[in-house]
Amino acid sequence: MVPMILNTAAYHFVPIADPSALAAQVRAWAEAGALRGTALIASEGVNLFLAGEERAIDAFFEQLRADPRFAELRVKYSRSGAQPFARLKVKVKPEIISFRRQETSPLAGRAPAVAPATLAKWLQQGHDDAGKRVVLLDTRNRQEVEYGTFAGALTLPIDKFTDLPEAMQPHRDDLSDATVVSFCTGGIRCEKAALWMQAAGMDNVLQLDGGILGYFEQVGGQGYDGRCFVFDERVALDPELKPLVDAA
C-alpha cells in the first residue's frame, strides 16, 4: 500500500528580526522529517507549503508552534498518495507574498474577514445579513482561475498579484453598493489585497478567511465551480481536497 502523504499550507504574519536564522531552523526541522515543499521566510512572517509523512508533519509544526511567535499558526491539510514536491526549498524573501505596497502590511492589523460558513449562507440566500448583494472577487491570476472559481465571481485579467491594483480600478464604481468578498487559494494574498482596497477607499471589502482551501475544508464546494489550482504536482484540488494528479 502506498503511504498517504499529508500536505500542508500555512502562513503567519509576524515580525521576524532575523529571517536567515529562522530559515536555517525551518530547514533543519524539515530535513529531519524528510519533508519536501517550499518555505518562504521574510521579516513579515512565514509562508509554508510542506508535505511528508503525518508524524513528521506533526513534529515539524509542534516545534514551530513552540516558538511564541507562531503559537497561533493555522494549518490547512489535505492528503495524497504521492509526494507532490520534488525537493525542499527554503528561501529568505523581502515579502512572503510579493505585493510591493508598504501600506498593505498585515503586521499593523488585518482587514475584516468572513468565515466560510457565513459566506456559504450568504451565497445560498443571495445577499449578506444586511440585505446587500455579495460580489466575490477572485484575486488570483488567470492561469489559476481557468481551473475553477466561485460561480459568478469577478475575475481579473492579471498574470501576477502585483497587477491587481491597476486591474481593479475599472470596477470600483460598480462595486460601491455591494459587500465585496475577496478570495484566493489559502488566504494570504487577500490579507494584502483587502488592506490595499481599504486604503484605496473601499470600505465594503471583506476577505474569505482561509481562502478557497479553507472553504473546501469547512464547507465543501457550495457555490464553487471546478477545482482549486495549487502550486505543486497535484495541479488542482476538488472540493473534497482530492488532487487532479496523484501519480506515485
Task: Give the residue numbers annotated as catalytic, written as ranges.
Answer: 184
As given in the structure block, the three cell numbers for residue 31 are 530535513
Beta bridge partners of 10: 48, 75
Q: Judge whether 129 and 208 are in contact, CB under 8 Å.
A: no
Q: Judge whether 215 and 81 are in contact, CB under 8 Å.
A: no
CA distance 193 to 179: 15
Q: Which amino acid is at 192?
A: K
* Structure letter (DSSP) for residue 243: B
**CA distance to 60, 98, 131, 202, per residue, from 105 (Å):** 27, 11, 31, 17
As given in the structure block, the three cell numbers for residue 165 are 491594483
As given in the structure block, the three cell numbers for residue 194 are 483587502
